[in-house]
Amino acid sequence: MGSASVFRNIVALTCVAYGLSRSTLDKGSARIVLLTWNLADGFPDGAEIRQAMQFALHGLPDDSSSLPEFIVIGLQEANLPEQRIAQWVRDAINDHYFKARHTRYEVVGAAASRWGGWIPRRFQEKGHFLSGIVVLRRESSKVSPRMTAKTSYCRRWSRGEKAITLVTLTAGPRRFCFLSAHLPSATSDARLACLQHGFQHDELGQLWDACDTRFMIGDFNSRTGRTAAAHVFDIADRRPSWDALVARDEMTHELTGKVAHMRGLTGTAGLHRPTYKMLRHDSSVCLTASTCVDVQRFLAVHRWDVPHADGNCGEDRICYDPTRPVSWTDQILFDPDRANLEFVAAVHGVHTSDHLPLAGRFTVDLD
């Protein structure tokens, strides 16, 4: 077995799992799958969609009562036409995964954000594409939900492409909120201000507060530690434990405490992976006490050139910057008292982007 294959097997062990996956649901319960994926201006192929869904639905039988009631997909930096995002996601999932299982999903609704005319042309040419969220419902479901959507742009705290999209889903007596966010990467204050602006000035707060079950997914660009070289070297050289890294995660412990609307989202699950751009390429990163990732081999496995891994490390960009805190990116935040997390896992072996799709599966009470 080659070193790349061995490494893939090792990395697969770094998926986060909570409890055991249940194949049967209690009466009145439903299953929800969340998938968040930063495509880095890319376009996933059918095989990658199939792999992501296999991760998300592993262990479930084919009977419709065990399959998800809803599939909620948040995309960031997607190279997709805005008017076709919902149809593309639906067709990709139905054709590449559910066709063999004789099950289909239909679009409940979608919301998307794209750069507007107010963005300077020099940034439009260099900027990212579409971000958004799509909600699908199993065709055989007896639930007939109603959906409302709202988008808030973080134009004051980024070049303009960062945005927050909120979808509310009313199913019987229950109302669910799904917030898909692509937050500014500059500073903690920028991420905090972007969230507060969306909730207070763009009316996201009114929709959010009316929900009894809330989820937040996306690329949060949150950080560990302060802006100090020692924190980067701690990650690369001292190999702290998984728990120590999560304990320093800004998004979970700082922003959720300072944004009143987000209090209660104390459960966090995600791909707590330092971005490779902040690390030396000869370093290792430990995701558990016994499992470490060799950064240079990680880049090689993902078919990127070292040291310029994803095209961002060129003019005005630095691959390794010891003055910046380590970044954590793709996450799911949720209220553990309102939703039972069956599992969450990063989908490995996908090469569209410098991000891995993050899939989570929850059970909720619809009564």
Residues of the chain with pLDDT > 70: what percent?
59
Assess if residue 305 is contained within a domain: no
Q: What local confidence, expressed as pLDDT, does residue 214 receive? A: 93
Q: Is there a domain that residue 346 lies in? A: yes
Is there a domain that residue 58 lies in? Answer: yes
Strands 213-224, 267-270: pairing kind: unpaired
CB 19 within 8 A of CB 56: no
pLDDT of residue 16: 39
Query: Distance from first CA to last CA of the chain, Å, rounded?
Result: 51
pTM above threshold 0.85:
no
Contact predicate 362/340, CB 8 Å:
yes
Cβ contact 234:274 at 8 Å: no
Split into its structural domains, the chain has a count of 1
What was the pLDDT predicted at 292? 53
Structure tokens at 70: 């809803």
pLDDT 10s digits, 266-323 = 766 555 444 445 455 555 555 444 445 555 554 444 443 333 334 444 444 444 455 5
Residue 15's contacts (CB-CB under 8 Å, 6 or more residues apart) are 343, 344, 345, 346
Hey, CA dihedral for 126, 114, 45, 279, is it positive or negative? positive
Distance, CA of 65 to CA of 14 (rounded, Å):
30
Q: Does the pLDDT value for residue 19 go beyond 70? A: no
With respect to residue 297, please indicate whether it lies within any of the assigned structural domains.
Answer: no
- Do the bridges between strand 174-182 and strand 213-224 make them parallel or antiparallel, or are there none, so unpaired? parallel
- Check whether 166 has a pLDDT greater than 60: yes
pLDDT digits (tens, 9 = 90+) for 48-77: 777 777 778 877 877 777 889 999 999 888
Q: Which among 23, 33, 22, 40 is positioned nearest to 97, based on CA atoms?
A: 33
pLDDT tens, residue by residue, 126-137: 444 677 899 999
The verdict on residue 1 lying in a domain is no
The residue-averaged pLDDT of 197-206 equals 85
Segment of 82-86, 106-110, 220-224 carrying the highest mean pLDDT:
106-110
Q: Is the pLDDT confidence value at 168 over 90? A: yes
311 located within any domain: no
Q: How far is CA 324 from CA 125, 138, 194, 256, 318, in A?
A: 27, 44, 20, 22, 11
Q: What is the extent of the structural domain holding 103?
A: 29-224+252-273+327-365
Low-confidence winner among 14-28, 178-192, 236-250 (lowest mean pLDDT): 14-28
Answer yes or no: is pLDDT of 160 > 90: no
Looking at the domain assignment, is residue 8 inside a domain? no
- The C-alpha R_g of the chain, in whole angstroms, comes to 20
Residue 72: which CATH number?
3.60.10.10
pLDDT band at 207; cut points 50, 70, 90: very high
Asked whether residue 319 is assigned to any structural domain, the reply reads no
